[in-house]
Amino acid sequence: MNTEIISVGTELMTGSILNTNTQYLSKRLSELGFRVHNQTAVGDNRERLEKALNAALGNNDLIILTGGLGPTQDDLTKEAVAEALGRELYLDKGLEKNLRSFFKEHGIPFTDNNLKQAYLIEGSKALDNPDGTAPGIVVRSEDKAVFLLPGPPREMRNVFENEVVPILNELRSEEISSRYYQLTGIGESQAEDRIME
């Protein structure tokens, strides 16, 4: 599957942080057999993020976003993906419960903006993030798969390895099974010559 990685965060645009997430994901995705064709990064800006998303959905089948899943107003990734896919957001009662428990256990006061992290995109699935409050998300649309991962590298890596890789293995086997052809009448060198391009 042709793949694009989109990193979201103004701190990348100012060079305040080095984008190690993109290298990590590119290396792992290549190892897993996915072709990374585009790497993109934009700041916490909804218009530019939606533009990047629409381009990515036009060019690639697998899109992995990192960052912009936090509780504050400048965290826009979920909203932008919902918009680009024409889906609504809804408050997931299970996620809300987990979130409130997390705050209680850690003795942190629960302000209302935190509820933002309990919203899911219609038809999506939450991906467990035991190290943070923002879960990952996977959403499929036609033949496209879009993953939203938290930006902090440790959270990103754990969600990727534990939650994303098993789904990618399924996607890859779908893809591989769709590419078996039975040839008859010509040998493999002739076949290669004809289909090379």
| Mask for 25-64, x = binds its own copies (CB under 8 A) | xxxxxx----xxxxxxxxx-x--x--xx--x---x-----
Task: Between 45 and 162, name the residue whose CB sits nearer to its own copies.
Answer: 45
**Looking at beta carbons only, is 27 or 194 nearer to its own copies?**
27
Binding mask 91-110 for its own copies (x = CB under 8 A): --------------------
Contacts of 55 (CB under 8 A, 6+ apart): 40
CA angle 163, 30, 19 (to 5 degrees): 75
The amino acid that residue 69 corresponds to is L
From residue 1 to residue 20, what is the string marking binding to its own copies with x (rule CB under 8 A)? ------x----xxxxxxxxx
Nearer to its own copies, 42 or 134 (CB): 42
158 binds its own copies (CB under 8 A): no
- For residue 61, the minimal CB distance to its own copies (Å) is 15
Least CB distance to its own copies at residue 64 (A): 13
Residue with tokens 């789904």: 167
Tokens coding 191: 């076949």
Nearest distance, CB of residue 12 and its own copies, angstroms:
7
Closer of 27 and 154 to its own copies (Cβ): 27
Residue closer to its own copies by CB (options 17, 183) is: 17
Question: Phi and psi for 183 in degrees, rounded to 5?
Answer: -105, 145
Residue 127, C-beta contacts closer than 8 angstroms, at least 6 positions apart: 135, 136, 137, 138, 147, 149, 159, 163, 164
Other CB atoms within 10 A of residue 19 CB: 18
8 A C-beta contact, residue 144 and residue 151: no
Helix (H) or strand (E) holding 147: strand 144-149
CB of 165 to its own copies, least distance (A): 15
Site residues (vs its own copies, CB under 8 A):
7, 12-20, 22-30, 35-43, 45, 48, 51-52, 55, 59
